[in-house]
Structure 1
Amino acid sequence: MIDGARLRHAATPEFMTETPNRASQPGSNQDLLADVLQRIQLASAVFLRGEFTAPWGFTSTDAATLCAIVQPGARNLVLFHVAVEGRFRIQLASGESAQAEAGDAVVLPYCDQHTMGHPPQAQPVPIATLVPMPPWTEMPVVRHGGGGEPTRILCGYLHCDDLLFNPLLRALPRLIHVRPSTPQAAQWRQASLRYVAEQARQGENAMLARLPGLVLADCLAQYARDLPAHQRGWLAALNDAVLGRALMLLHARPSDAWTVDDLAGKCAVSRSVLAERFSQSLGVSPMRYLAQWRMQLAANLLRDQPGLGLAQVADQVGYESEAAFSRAFKRHVGRAPANWARN
């Protein structure tokens, strides 16, 4: 893998947002999503540039092979493709498909094998026949096609073993296609992507390294806004008036001595209604969710501030004693906090 291509990334979605000056309102659902992504330690990289001319097409490698190449030891990756110029059609073996234009992003949360090309009738070739064999000393550039209409694509991935990452993505579809919603947003996104693509020609830079997390944050935010009312999962919960407020309260004050009654009162619903909403949408009770989020925060502290004692970590995440925190951490993570931190 290219040196420096991986990073510990705090998601800051300004780069891929709909307009240059848009900002989230305090306490908004987008703030909550951004906060969760900031807490999750993402390894990410733009690992491939594609420069194609119509007709062109390729079939991707399987997920295990891609993991072995770009993130050895990973079991799952989140894959994305961004159209910098031109257009392409992407289709999964399961049938999901999308037609992407310049400025669009396509995210594959489960790294499904897929076919891409333009026009759709173009005969695809295995991507392995186009990409040089690793290890790569610089970002590979794939060039392929018949000399017609050009298409430029940036391909990247995200990987994370943190505690809440899988629950966050668990209810997503196999393919997410996000396009700018206005002409102004399209112009902004395309200009940003052209800048990143030109910088990619010159090697690694900070903006290129940030792109995967920014794409993910932008796509998840737009996907969450468009979810139907009956959808379940963490992102869908952001749109629920009761669950959205409950999640914002728990995330804003995780160390408080919350009870279900306290939380229900602040959400203006009964204890039973709150518990039912959590169970139906998130699959856990309110206090179980709080415990999971506290473990995420504790993991961050153990990793990022090794000088903190366990008693200090316990206090910061809402446990009255080091012993109670250690028992809870081992129950959720499978290892004692000190052992987890050493590894």
Structure 2
Amino acid sequence: MDVLDDLLAGTRARGGVFNLTIMDTPWALDIRDGAQLALATLVRGSAWIVRDGIEPTRMETGDVAIFNGPEPYVVADDPATEPQLRIHPGGICEPLPGAPVDYSARLGVRTYGGRLDGDAMLVSGTYLLEGDVSRRLLTALPSVLVVPADAVAGHVMSMVLGEIQRDEPGQQSVLDRWLDLALITTLRAWFARPESHAPGWYQAQSDPVVGLALRLLHEDPAYPWSVVELADRTGVSRASLARRFSALVGEAPMAYLTGWRIALAADMLRETTDTVEAIARRVGYANAFALSVAFKRLRGTSPTTHRRTTLQSA
């Protein structure tokens, strides 16, 4: 298992919300669904993405966009076009003042708009993410990223149009799995692009030494790793591994391992009823006290307090 596999394992669609919106020029869609992560592709037409803090971003037919964070954004034929529809949490579609009267009409399952052959057709799906493992992936992404159609797996994107308009047994699971596959292929294409400024842990995976060290740490984070053993396993000296790992990943091997262990523990505290002692051993600490010391050093709070506050905010 590599680093991206591990991060994506905590980023899975479960009951994702999907919309197919069809509009005529001039058109603009104000999206306020509060999703932590969303993916959209243009089946027809071209668009601009407008979001606070970034320059308007162009999107063409077949391109795929990923939106990072719950802040609202607008997808429109022109940055100056006033929104006519607003998407709320749960995929609820609201017509705004000045919109054609039929713009919030249901044209089919998960489908809204005026007419099926409208100028623009936008498919979107959203994730509602929780947890520290997912957060490590999100911090590596910009507010908005767009991957051109020719860089994304075509068959993955072309299949969604038929699936999103079906209402058959198990359809939600089909769409969730499509969303996962589309996200993975888009992220791989994005990280491969020079403008992505891919994080150190991603770039380091192609290094024969550091990439192997990362895989070892992720395959068995509970193992009592040391720089000496990692160096032995990767076939280099301790000093060479430490220097190479820090240069590529941005932190020392044991600091990286500690951060990963604490992220795993934080998610286990939120998602399970296991004792702190049991979680400590699962992520590589001798006992609850050792985990508590490391957890408080990195998070400023104890594992027990973290569990209590995350449950209260759920």
Deviation at 1:210, TM superposition (A): 4.6
Aligned identity (percent) is: 25
1:56 corresponds, among 26, 34, 46, to 26
Q: Deviations over 1:95-130 (max 9, x none)?
A: 36343323x321133567655344x6x96222xx42
Deviation at 1:40, TM superposition (A): 5.0
Superposition pairs for residues 33-44 of structure 1, below 5 Å? 33-40=4-11
Provide the residue aligned with 2:266 in structure 1. Answer: 299
- Indicate if the aligned counterparts of 1:238 and 1:244 stay in contact, CA closer than 8 A: yes
- Indicate if the aligned counterparts of 2:190 and 2:196 stay in contact, CA closer than 8 A: no
TM-score (norm 1): 0.68
1:131 corresponds, among 78, 86, 94, to 86
Uncovered stretches (5+) of structure 1, i.e. residues with no partner: 1-26, 72-76
Amino acid paired to 2:300: G
Provide the residue aligned with 1:290 in structure 2. Answer: 257
Backbone CA RMSD of aligned residues: 3.8
Task: Give the whole-Å Cα distance in 2 for the aligned partners of 1:222 and 1:135.
Answer: 28
- Indicate if the aligned counterparts of 2:23 and 2:120 stay in contact, CA closer than 8 A: yes
Amino acid paired to 2:233: K
User: Residue 321 in 1 paired to residue 287 in 2?
Assistant: yes
Q: Deviations over 1:155-174 (max 9, x none)?
A: 23334342243443334344
Task: Give the whole-Å Cα distance in 1 for the aligned partners of 2:116 and 2:196.
Answer: 46
Task: Give the whole-Å Cα distance in 2 for the aligned partners of 1:37 and 1:241.
Answer: 22
Amino acid paired to 1:45: G
Task: Give the whole-Å Cα distance in 1 for the aligned partners of 2:257 and 2:64.
Answer: 33
Deviation at 1:245, TM superposition (A): 1.6
Superposition pairs for residues 1-343 of structure 1, below 5 Å? 27=1, 29=2, 32-40=3-11, 45-46=16-17, 48-53=19-24, 55-58=25-28, 60=30, 66=32, 69-70=33-34, 77-83=36-42, 85-92=43-50, 94-95=54-55, 97-102=57-62, 104-110=63-69, 116-118=75-77, 124-126=81-83, 129-131=84-86, 139-140=92-93, 150-179=119-148, 181=150, 185-186=153-154, 188-199=155-166, 205-227=172-194, 232-306=199-273, 308-342=274-308, 343=311
Q: Deviations over 1:65-85 (max 9, x none)?
A: x3xx535xxxxx3332122x2
- Indicate if the aligned counterparts of 1:45 and 1:209 stay in contact, CA closer than 8 A: yes
Distance 1:204 1:241, change over 3 A: same
- Indicate if the aligned counterparts of 2:156 and 2:181 stay in contact, CA closer than 8 A: no
Task: Give the whole-Å Cα distance in 2 for the aligned partners of 1:247 and 1:169.
Answer: 19
TM-score (norm 2): 0.74
Q: How many residues are paired up?
A: 291
- Indicate if the aligned counterparts of 2:157 and 2:182 stay in contact, CA closer than 8 A: no
